[in-house]
Amino acid sequence: MNSQKLLPWLLAAGLTTALPSQAETYYEMSGKVTADLRYFTQDGQFANQDYDTNLSFTVEPEFYWEWNDGADTLTFTPFLRVDENDNERTHADIRELSWVHIGDDWELRTGLRKVFWGVTEFQHLADVINQTDGVEDFDGEDKLGQQMINLSLVKDWGIVDLFLLPGFRERTFAGEDGRLRAGLVVDTDQAEYESGAGENHLDTAIRWSHTIGDFDLGAYWFHGTNRDPKLVARNINGKTVLVPYYEQMDQIGFDAQATIDSWLWKLETIHRDTSSENYWAAQAGFEYTFYGIQDSAADLGVLLEYGWDERGEEADAAVQNDLFMGARITLNDAESTEILGGISHDLDYDSQSLIVEASRRIGDSWKVSVDGRFFSADDQADLSYNFRQDDHLQFTVERYF
């Protein structure tokens, strides 16, 4: 049985044994729908990018069942985006379809899930389990659901998570008609793998995390398919495209946060070993919060982080010698009004990007936000050179149910 088929079978078998004998099931549905409009200040620099506005809708309901007095739960969260221009951005995913069984000091989580590891804000280096849903946004924060069997053990000396990850999710990339992409389009249909098992390779991971006084620590080892593909230029049907090539890797990672008074000190570091390279990378910095500024209820947080990659300019990562500065104003009002501004500066290529985000709640079920993203780059070797004509404002309306 290949590993892709193993999981649904286990999920079904587990659920059948755990299913409620009586109708003591609690059920709940919630979720959100969103509409967002992007306004680009200029036409894109590549073919098929000659539009200024883009409208997009998403729907993400969540269905939840609980039985055995909460010892068993099932969560189903499908996701759909419909995009005006980019066929690749119009996509569906199962963000979560998982059964969790809870014991006294252990949990078994089976199915498609999302797991977050790490502490920093401007880059999520240590976060390795889930594939990036790259068409959602260019910040890499959106993730695809990952098939997994995760046994979590709570010990006096920390929480240990053991993962079996049967099957791999390919990264999503903007299509021909998408903005915020490189000049060459990534042809995801042509994806190649180092492993003979291809996308069915069984990945494994183990993580320890613990709190010791003011310190929150985590360390892990991951063995399996590298979520970050190498993009290889190929000529396919007389057209040059980028083909994703997924290598095998071993990665160890470490993350730490010290929470001292108004300071949050943060560090993430990884060592990645693949057949083509092995290197260290790190993201570190701090967040300091001024509470109740100007005798108001508002807080001002200032953030400073630095990202480093041993490979330097050879790195195919966007962050290799980059400085990040940010400020977050939280009004702490009934509408949860928040404004966030961030600048990243690439010290090797001398390029910058500026991000501004503002959001507030309206009534009990609506939320509106305005985001602005601005790029400046003039070195062709710099990855962000591709975005230099993609400055945009994004207006988002979210309705929760």
Partner 1 sequence: MTLLTNSLKAVLISSLAAAPAVVMAETAEEKGLRIAEEAKASDLGWKDMQAQMNMILRNKQGQESVREIRMKSLEIEDDGDKSLSVFDKPRDVKGTAFLSFSHPVGADDQWLYLPALKRVKRIASRNKSGPFMGSEFAYEDLSSFEVEKYTYKFIRDEACEGGNCFVVEQYPVDKNSGYTRRVVWLDQAEYRPWKIEFYDRKDSPLKTLTYHEYKEYEGKHWRPDLMKMVNHQTGKSTDLTYQGYQFKTGLSDSDFNKNTLKRAR
Do the beta carbons of residue 299 and residue 289 sit within 8 Å? yes
Q: Site residues (CB under 8 A) for partner 1?
A: 30, 32, 64, 73, 100, 102, 104-105, 107, 114-116, 119, 141, 152, 154, 159, 209, 211, 216, 257, 259, 261-264, 289, 291-292, 297, 299, 332-336, 361, 364-365, 367, 398, 400-401
Number of C-beta neighbours around residue 135 at 10 A = 23
Do the beta carbons of residue 44 and residue 178 sit within 8 Å? no
The C-alpha angle 337, 341, 343, rounded to 5 degrees, equals 170
Half-sphere exposure of 236 (CA within 13 A, CB side): 14
Task: Give the closest residue to 183 by CA, choosing from 352, 375, 387, 319.
Answer: 387
Which 3 state secondary structure label does DSSP give 261? Answer: coil
What are φ and ψ of residue 360, in 5° steps? Answer: -155, 155
Do the beta carbons of residue 280 and residue 310 sit within 8 Å? yes
What six digits make up the tokens of 42? 């200029």
Q: Is the dihedral of CA 360, 78, 148, 282 positive or negative?
A: negative
Number of C-beta neighbours around residue 231 at 10 A = 17
Q: What is the spatial distance between Cα 210 and Cα 205, in angstroms, rounded to a whole number?
A: 17
Longest Cα separation, the chain: 66
Half-sphere exposure of 240 (CA within 13 A, CB side): 6
Task: Give the closest residue to 129 by CA, choosing from 60, 255, 220.
Answer: 220
Distances (CA, A) of 350 to 60, 377, 385: 39, 7, 11
Distances (CA, A) of 157 to 115, 160, 218, 256: 21, 9, 12, 16
**CA 352: distance to chain centroid?**
22
Task: Give the closest residue to 120 by CA, choosing from 222, 270, 335.
Answer: 270
DSSP β-ladder status, 366-376 and 392-400: antiparallel
